[in-house]
Amino acid sequence: MIFKYTVTERQTLKTFLYEQRFSKKTISAIKQDGALLINGMPRTVRHVLEPGDVVVVSLPIEQPSAALIPYDQPLDVLYEDAWLLIVAKPAHQNSAPSREHPHESLVEQALAHMQKQHERGIPHIVTRLDRHTMGIVVIAKSRHIHHLMAETSIDKIYECLCCGRIEGAGVIEAPIGRASDSIINRVVTPEGKHAKTIYQPIRVTDKYSWCRVQLLTGRTHQIRVHFQHIGHSIVGDSLYGTRHAHFQTQLLKCAEVQFAHPMTEKRVRVMCDMPDFGEWLNKL
CA distance 36 to 281: 56
Is-contact 232 164, C-beta < 8 A?
yes
Whole-angstrom distance, CA of residue 100 vs CA of residue 103: 9
User: From CA 94, how far away is CA 104, in angstroms rounded?
Assistant: 8
β-bridge mates for residue 208, sequence order: 163
Active site residue 276: no
CA distance 228 to 222: 10
Contact 155, 269 (CB under 8 A): no
DSSP symbols for 174-230: --EEE-TT-SS-EEE-TTSB--EEEEEEEEE-SSEEEEEEEESS--TTHHHHHHHHT
Residues 6+ apart with CB under 8 A from 263: 83, 145, 148
DSSP-based three-state secondary structure for 108:
helix
Catalytic residue among 53, 72, 76, 130: 130
Active site residues: 130
